[in-house]
Amino acid sequence: MKVVRIKYAHSEPLFWRARLNVVEAGNLESARLIAEGVAEVGYVPITLAAELGLPVVPRLAIYSAGPMYSARLFAGRGGGGPCAVSETTVSARVLTKLMGISFRKIDDPWRGLEECSQVLAVGDEALKMVDKGVGHITDVGELWWERVGTPLFFAVLVARRWDAEVKRAVEEMENSVAAFYENPLPLVEQVARRLGVRRELVEEYYMRSRYFVPRDGIRHMEREAEILGLPRLKFLDV
């Protein structure tokens, strides 16, 4: 059975100790892989889970309760108006809803800093911009927390079915996160080296990242979908 992993550093704690057949994908491709049956379970942006009717497993997710660092609107130096990387869906939708910003899609956020007045970057490139001290206008997770007062779910775990095999995969990921929390330093140093950023930034990043869905998580996800104008989420009974 194949499990989809979103390719950014925020996924590392979920998979570094998990014994799984992993398929790595970007935000948009991840949903396609599961919707088309290439994989049975994995992480997708909450926007696409709602729009495609992919059932959510309410045990694991990638979310924040405040600043996330890897989803920020940076200050650009160009006159091309606001731009967003083509891989983002949740963050762009949040900023459009809460700040009324319309974005032009770009593929290279670093080039966007020269061409655009504002650049929404996500994932590893956003972390690299934070490390280099690129000025930002707002952090998406922080904005949501201040305006809405609930955690912001970026990616949710979805599955085409719920059975013993899928349950085992979920438990592998839960155990991986638990192992990370017991001894985070090896993974922190590994990610810092791979991205070429300060270890202290990665430590802070993982302190702010959340993975285990809390007891009221379903309610918060439903509220998020409602605010963002998404179809009603479906949840698996696990």
pLDDT in tens, 4-17: 999 999 999 999 99
Q: Give me the number of domains the chain comprises.
A: 2
* 18 and 36 both lie in a single domain: yes
pLDDT of residue 218: 98
For the segment 148-163, the average pLDDT, to the nearest whole number, is 97
CATH of the domain at 184: 3.40.190.10
* 21 and 127 both lie in a single domain: no
Q: Say if 236 falls within a structural domain.
A: no
* 78 and 142 both lie in a single domain: yes
* 57 and 168 both lie in a single domain: yes
By DSSP bridging, strand 118-122 and strand 104-106 are: unpaired
* 31 and 87 both lie in a single domain: no
* 105 and 140 both lie in a single domain: yes
pLDDT of residue 46: 98
Q: Say if 238 falls within a structural domain.
A: no
Q: Say if 234 falls within a structural domain.
A: no
Confidence of residue 184 (pLDDT cuts 50, 70, 90): very high
Confidence of residue 110 (pLDDT cuts 50, 70, 90): very high
pLDDT of residue 215: 93
For the segment 159-187, the average pLDDT, to the nearest whole number, is 97
Q: Say if 235 falls within a structural domain.
A: no
- Expressed as residue numbers, the domain containing 171 is 3-63+153-228
**Mind listing the pLDDT tens digit for each residue in 200-210?**
999 999 999 99
